[in-house]
Amino acid sequence: MYLSLLLLIPLLIFAGWASAKVNSAYTAFDRVPNRACMTGYDTAVRLMRNRGVYDIRVERVNGKLTDHYHPTKKQVNLSMSTFGSASVAAVAVAAHEVGHVMQKKEGYFPYKVRTMLVPLTNIGSALSIPLVLIGILLDVFLISVPYGAWCVYAGIALFGLSTLFALVTLPVELNASKRAKKMLLEDGILTAEEVPGASKVLSAAALTYVASLLISLFYFLRFALFFLSFLRHD
């Protein structure tokens, strides 16, 4: 118990620091207008049109840093803080979302894996704990048959899908940021002098995914060790 807390507290501190850092970086460079006077909306539209993408709409959604690409609805959704802002931060975030559009268009493998994992992760989240609990009961009452242990292992594996999803998400997000910086330079939306500012915003955002992965891994290991301890070891 105490060991778990000792491990979890630093992870939560890191996650809080990462969240504060991305907000700080965005706020700082949201005060810096880009020389091309392009808003987040303008940036997303130009980057996609220049790359032959015409079937994705750019929409505005409520909130700050709630930007995301919705492939099913074919929408790049930009937050209120990004959509109409002509700052270095806004165009960096908008370009990052277009990076995801290009990943899907080009069949970027980690993106395809992450997309495939979404429904599986949702199923795993719903079934993992019931399956583990059933397994423990079977293990207790069906002494001569290892059905219970199999159920527990399957439940742990299903729970682990969320950690696998977080693991795959990290390279997807890093690649989208790499694409964003390249596209912004290629299309003349940011100058070479402005790109470091965009890079700081995107790098800070990447830290939140690192934190998410570490916390997910912690909870997976804790979950696995806790329920494995209930199995008989004959």
Catalytic residues: 97
> For tokens 């080009």, what's the residue?
106
Which of the 8 DSSP states describes residue 34?
A: -
**The pair of three-digit structure tokens given for residue 72, joined into one six-digit string:** 């099913």
The CA–CA distances, whole Å, from 98 to 91, 168, 219 equal 10, 19, 32
The CA–CA distances, whole Å, from 214 to 8, 52, 79, 129, 226 equal 10, 37, 27, 21, 18
> CA 138 to CA 133: how far, in whole Å?
9
Length in residues, the chain: 234
> CA 181 to CA 100: how far, in whole Å?
13
- Residues with Cβ < 8 Å from 177, sequence gap 6 or more? 96, 99, 202, 203, 205, 206
Q: Is 221 helix (H, G, I), strand (E, B) or coil?
A: helix
Largest CA distance in the chain: 73
> CA 194 to CA 139: how far, in whole Å?
61
